[in-house]
Structure 1
Amino acid sequence: MSAPSSTAPGVSVPTSDIDLFSDEVLSVNDDAVFAQLRELGPVVYLPANDSYAVTRYEEVRAALGDPATFSSKSVAFNPQMNEILSGTSLASDPPEHGKLRAILTDNLSPRALRGMKDDINASAEKLVSEMVERGSFDGMADMAVAFPVSVVLDLIGVQGGLREKILPWGEAAFNLLGPLNERAQASFPVAGELFKWTHEEMQGEDLAEGSIGRAIFEASERGEISHESFGYIVHQILAAGMDTTITTIGNALVLLGQNPEQFQKLREDLSLVPSALAEVIRLRTPAPVFGRRATRDVEVGGTLIPAGAQVALCYGSANMDPRKFDNPEVFDITRNAVDHIGFGYGIHACAGQGLAKLEIHGLLSAWAKQVASYRIGAVVPRLNNFTRPYESIEVTDIVRA
């Protein structure tokens, strides 16, 4: 098909009528949608989203490695949310990005989190034991949600009635990273409560003594960071440690349950836990599309993306690209897909991935040690503009190891 009018004369770009954020697309398997786009080309213009979708692994990875050309100041697909995110490491470019990122990673580095490992593992063992005792449970509410919410809120130091509000706040905020469709519009009031709390209302006494949140607040009191930055950092830790982690735990339960031979491999060799997690994220990327803005005319895979254009970097498509991964549709926990880009790549690689890995490694290890087999029943998706969670996962017929 011919190029949209914004493309330079003589340079063609394939187009597609796919809307990445429509109910129809979000309610089906991303693989089929991304496969269509990948086969059209490494870059496909999507009029419904007024975006240039980058669809293949090498091109997505190269774009992530070039923040000067692909600006994160348009990480969301609507200007209101990009304005709200201004001043965060997620939505900033160098040189501002470096300082903001350092504050965040200082509190989420492997060394900073090392002391939490034993407690997280013990909590995982306890939760799995309770689920095994029950024999069946809702994999989302009882495990995928319950575990990371408890870990992250304890980490930040959130106390009292606020704990019940955090999860719906976070889900609403992720809906706002898409375009201003009906889902996003409905999320504005709920997400606004989160922004108001983290940026205006939160005080040190709201956060438990000894928590990371309290430490960051005290740094702002000493003038080491601005109070505004304190709110942004807490907001980002909440996002990094919860919603995408929740989605990934749900995906792991489903994939291992639907592929019992892979689960048995994991049970026989717990050293495969990191590889299993990498494969879950590759095959079911929890946040499959991120926004960027082209700062200049740039050629990607032989296609010109014009300066100022909204770009959709399709992480989920890149992770299923057969040009990079053999038999990408196959779930293989021995693949060790450490070069997946489910956590991003480059300076904007997920700052919270250390925390996510700590949580999920602990839970998968406990599950593989305590469970001999289980069955996945009904799986109900929940539509979100940015993440791909389930509403519920029926886990039944659990046999204790």
Structure 2
Amino acid sequence: MTVPASSIDLFGDAVLADPWPAYRNLRDSGSAVWLEQTGVWFIGRFADVRRALNDWQVFSSAQGIGFNPVINTAWTEALICQDPPIHTERRKLMMEALSPAALKPVADNISRRADALADRIAERGHFDGVADFAHDLPIGVVMDLIGWPEAVRPALLELASGSWNAAGPANARMQTGLGGLQDMMGLLAGIYDEGRVQPGGFAEKLIAASRDGKITRDTAIGMLAGYVVAAFETTISAMAAGIYLFAQNPAEWDKLRADSGLAMVAANEIVRMETPLQNFARVTTQDAELSDGSVVPAGARVCVSYASANRDERQFSQPDLFDITRREKQNLGFGHGPHGCAGQGLARMELAAVFTALSRRISRIELTDPAERALNNISRSFSRLPARAIPG
């Protein structure tokens, strides 16, 4: 069958600001659509995206998950750019810090921080959903868990912000992102070489594994970079998205206030609706037939769209509706298969804790000015979210 083509520019300002109509257009065109502006195949239907994420033998990450050769070369040692069995062995090191058993002692700390944050928001009333709210738990909890030294934490946060831009196609955002990413890698290399990490954290264990010869120095630094980029920016994005969505949907906030047991479902629904990481690339190792019979040829770079899949009408009823009692609980916001987000348990725990704590103190969340988006080639986030919390 003939595979459709589209002139839609997924990485242009207009689409990045509001990608959902473009995703719907592409899904309706077929399981695979050739993107003329980017020179890749777009896969956006839920069934096909899930298949691509599971079938690493056909949809490989080993040639990079970015949309330009510079980042794919630079990220050769990154965990997200590896296939099994190499990926499997290296992921074990990461999961030691993020397994349910490892996170159990962290739960009390998350609850305490969530309660303290909710108290501050209730007291001040007006707040920025990004700087005053979304930054708190990811920075406080994750930085302690990894063991970053206090002195470098502000710099790491600043360098992580916008770093996903580097994975986009060759545009101005990509060039800016590469510069920030290079600075971050230099900082991490210095931390590694000097051993400047707090004792007991994941960073210390990873550096020890490298010096014991289990992994190389470059691999250790690459994995540490993955923690900086993924653990901070994506969770911060989801936290701010929750404020935005509950402000726009007060009836859903009332549901959470009436039943705090919905907090975990709400966390999943926030991630489904906004999908902090929108798209990654894969490369086909052989001809790949998709659900509508279309075939993506071997050796093609494809855009696997988590965000489009999460709004697919073929999978979700009323997919553009924010519903924290949604029955279709599975979504691809945390990925799926071998590359499913290693930190998703921690992210869900943080999201559930902070919105539970807030729901006990706040009767309504309102936006006081228009939300400002931080346009990014890969991630979806806010730069500013002026809001008001009404106690009750």
Q: Give the TM-score of the pair, scaled to structure 2.
A: 0.95
SS at match of 2:253: helix
**What's the CA shift string for 1:222-247, capped at 9, x where partnerless?**
33433333212221222232111111
Contact 2:363–2:391 (CA<8 Å) still a contact in 1? yes
Rounded Cα–Cα distance in structure 2 between residues aligned with 1:204 and 1:219 = 15
Q: Which amino acid aligns with 1:54?
A: I
The alignment status of 1:61 with 2:50, answered yes or no, reads yes
The alignment status of 1:287 with 2:280, answered yes or no, reads no
CA distance 1:152–1:319, shift in 2 (3 Å): same
Contact 2:117–2:136 (CA<8 Å) still a contact in 1? no
The alignment status of 1:367 with 2:358, answered yes or no, reads yes
**What's the CA shift string for 1:7-27, capped at 9, x where partnerless?**
xxxx41111111111112112
Aligned mate of 2:220, from 208, 211, 230: 230
Contact 1:52–1:312 (CA<8 Å) still a contact in 2? yes
Aligned-residue CA RMSD (Å): 1.5
Aligned mate of 1:49, from 38, 47, 54: 38
**What's the CA shift string for 1:184-212, capped at 9, x where partnerless?**
11222221011122245524641112222
Greater CA drift, 366-375 or 385-394 = 366-375
Q: Give the TM-score of the pair, scaled to structure 1.
A: 0.93
**What's the CA shift string for 1:162-183, capped at 9, x where partnerless?**
1111123213431111112101
Aligned to 2:323: 332
Q: Which amino acid aligns with 1:43?
A: A
Query: 1:216 Cα shift?
Result: 2.2
Rounded Cα–Cα distance in structure 2 between residues aligned with 1:329 and 1:86 = 36
Aligned mate of 2:112, from 114, 119, 122: 122
The alignment status of 1:36 with 2:3, answered yes or no, reads no
Aligned to 2:205: 215
Aligned mate of 1:387, from 368, 379, 383: 379
Contact 2:243–2:365 (CA<8 Å) still a contact in 1? no
Identical counterparts, % of pairs: 34
Contact 2:253–2:359 (CA<8 Å) still a contact in 1? yes
Rounded Cα–Cα distance in structure 2 between residues aligned with 1:101 and 1:159 = 23
Query: 1:221 Cα shift?
Result: 3.0
Aligned mate of 1:164, from 149, 154, 159: 154
Contact 1:278–1:336 (CA<8 Å) still a contact in 2? no
Contact 1:241–1:355 (CA<8 Å) still a contact in 2? no
Aligned mate of 2:288, from 279, 298, 323: 298
Rounded Cα–Cα distance in structure 2 between residues aligned with 1:297 and 1:224 = 36
Rounded Cα–Cα distance in structure 2 between residues aligned with 1:200 and 1:96 = 26
Q: Which runs of 5+ in 2 are unaligned?
A: none
The alignment status of 1:309 with 2:300, answered yes or no, reads yes
Aligned to 1:155: 145
Rounded Cα–Cα distance in structure 2 between residues aligned with 1:289 and 1:326 = 22
Q: Which runs of 5+ in 1 are unaligned?
A: 1-10
Rounded Cα–Cα distance in structure 1 between residues aligned with 2:355 and 2:38 = 37
SS at match of 1:375: strand
**What's the CA shift string for 1:49-89, capped at 9, x where partnerless?**
11110111111111111101101123111111111111222
Query: 1:159 Cα shift?
Result: 2.1
The alignment status of 1:343 with 2:329, answered yes or no, reads no
SS at match of 1:206: coil
Rounded Cα–Cα distance in structure 2 between residues aligned with 1:200 and 1:95 = 29
SS at match of 1:372: strand
Please show how residues 249-268 of structure 1 align to structure 2 within 5 Å: 249-268=239-258
Aligned to 1:5: none
